[in-house]
Amino acid sequence: MNLAVLPLLSALASQALPCDIESAQQLMAQQPRPDARIVPMLAQCRAAASTDYRVELFDGVIARDAGRLDDSVTHLSRAREQAPGELAPMMELAVTYEFQQRPAKARPLYEEALRIDPSSRGARLGLARVARQQYRPDEAERIYEALLAADPEDREARTGLAMTALQQRRYDVARERLQPLQATYPDDAEVRAGLVELAQGWRHRIDLRVGREEVEEGDSNRIIAQWEGAPNARDTFRVRYENNDRELVTLDPIDRAVMPLDSVRVGWLRRVPGQYFWEVAYEYRNHEVISDTQRVELNVGHRLGGNVQGFAGVRQQFPSPRDARLWHAGVSVPTSTRTYATLIAYYAEPALGDDTMAYVADFTYERDRLQLTGGIGYGTKPDNFIVHVLGVWPLPHRQAITFGIEHRSLGGEAEAVVGWRVEWQ
């Protein structure tokens, strides 16, 4: 074939595959959207070497709606590069970053959109959603209130204001805002989700548990009472009391120690879900067979990327000669919308015996208030295999049954606990 003919054939092929992006745009606006017709049209535009930013824009939106968030970011980033002054690629990319739980990426895009068009309602709503994701409720409320000042019936602003109150655990305010929305928009998915969260939300939680520890030198019965208070979206305070009727030495590689007759632990957790947390705690342990001991803890965690969470911590026991230290580091990885896997490594410097390492892998299933966890572990010096099952089984009226069973191969040790949980607002 004459090589000079190739450019002509290429041009004829392009003419045979016209890019009808205008028709694709019209189809994108239809509900339900006919993706089966749109996707071939976009492919035809690519075959025609179209540089219209809408090709990448529509591909990005379709990919996002199909759950392919990384592909969506790639397409929408290209669309934004092709048309840096257009609001649509900017806004759709910001929305995709919201879906990825990456508010720090979405925020500058919404801010840029507002510089281009200060009256953009979509950008203001997006910025308010980002503020909620970043746990900046005051900023979100200011934006929603400004939108409602312009239009008191703005449905999204009213819903957002209700969800912001819910996020802050201001349940009475959230209820006052959600109930009228439910009456007016009974099919609104966000309102329905808000009402479910409202029905399950709590500011106070009490756990009462009884259990039994079985080790080589005997058995010990246990009573545990714990209160948790969550006055706002970020902070949780815990007070825990434990009583054992015997002081036994456990070979648990994660906590090789003499069990106390009584212990009191107080802790403060500050958390921005999906972003970071830190916790400080103090525990006093009362003994008769040895001198009393005390413990301090520091735990931290941060999102590593996507929905993957990393965490680490250290616990120090004192005074000497009962001083001991426990380090841990781990990662939690979602495996589906309802399940996640957790891997933790421990390094223990106990008061009794040699330093040890332990590794634990857990798999957790969650649905609403139901939580089931199964895990296996391995401790070193000497070998110690661990198997455990933990669970929270919900009951009506913000109550639940809690339970846990663990078996350790070294010494045939076993631990079982069952309890009752009650929550209120």
413-424 vs 218-229, strand pairing mode: unpaired
3-state DSSP assignment of residue 107? helix
Q: Do 56 and 79 touch, CB atoms closer than 8 A? A: yes
- C-alpha separations of 166 from 109, 182, 234, 396 in Å: 26, 15, 13, 21
Query: pLDDT value at position 307?
Result: 82
C-beta of residue 392 within 8 angstroms of C-beta of residue 367: no
- Report pLDDT for 17: 60
User: Distance (Å, rounded) from C-alpha 262 to C-alpha 293?
Assistant: 11
Q: How many CA atoms lie within 13 A of 124 on its CB side?
A: 17
- Enter the tokens of residue 294: 């005390």
pLDDT at residue 256, as a whole number: 87
DSSP state of 234: S
Q: 292, exposed or middle or buried, with CB in 10 Å at 0-12, 13-18, 19+?
A: middle
CB 283 within 8 A of CB 295: yes
**How many residues appear in the chain?**
425
- Sign of the CA dihedral 393, 259, 327, 272? positive
Tokens of 1: 């074939």
> pTM for this structure?
0.81
Q: Torsions phi, psi of 84, nearest 5?
A: -65, -20
Contacts of 130 (CB under 8 A, 6+ apart): 94, 98, 103, 106, 107, 110
- Check: CB of residue 96 under 8 Å from CB of residue 56: no
Q: Exposure string (b/e) for 205-217, b if CB count within 10 Å is 16 or more?
A: bebebebebbbee
Cβ pair 160, 129 in contact under 8 A: yes
What's the CA gap between 104 and 82, in Å, rounded?
23
Do residues 385 and 361 make contact, with C-beta atoms less than 8 angstroms apart?
Answer: no
Dihedral of CA 303/304/307/311: which sign?
negative
What is the separation, in whole angstroms, between the first and last Cα of the chain?
A: 81
Q: What are 24's two structure tokens? A: 């694709």
What domains sit in the chain, N to C, each tagged with a CATH number? 5-200 (1.25.40.10), 204-424 (2.40.160.40)
Q: What is the DSSP letter of 169?
A: T
User: Residue 8: its pLDDT value, please?
Assistant: 41
> What are the φ/ψ torsions at residue 230 (nearest 5 degrees)?
-125, 85
- Alpha carbons 101 and 320: distance in angstroms, whole number: 46
CA distances 52 to 19, 55, 64, 78, 86, Å, are: 9, 6, 20, 11, 12
Question: Could you read off the pLDDT tens digit of each residue along the chain, which spans 425 residues?
Answer: 444 444 443 444 444 468 999 999 999 999 999 999 999 999 999 999 999 999 999 999 999 999 999 999 999 999 999 999 899 999 999 999 999 888 999 999 999 999 999 999 999 999 999 999 988 999 999 999 999 999 999 999 999 999 999 999 999 999 999 999 999 999 999 999 999 999 889 999 999 999 999 998 899 999 999 999 999 888 999 999 999 999 999 989 999 889 999 999 999 999 987 789 999 999 999 999 899 999 999 999 998 877 899 999 999 999 988 899 999 999 999 999 899 999 999 999 988 778 999 999 999 999 988 999 999 999 998 999 999 999 999 999 999 999 999 999 999 999 999 999 999 99
**How far is residue 209's CA from residue 405's CA, in Å, rounded to a whole number?**
13
Residue 5 pLDDT: 41
HSE-up of residue 219 (Cα within 13 Å, Cβ side) = 7
Spell out the SS3 assignment of 185-209.
CCCCHHHHHHHHHHHHCCCEEEEEE
77 close to 93: Cβ distance less than 8 angstroms? yes
Can you read off the two tokens belonging to residue 19?
A: 């890019």
Residue 416 C-beta-side C-alpha neighbours within 13 Å: 2
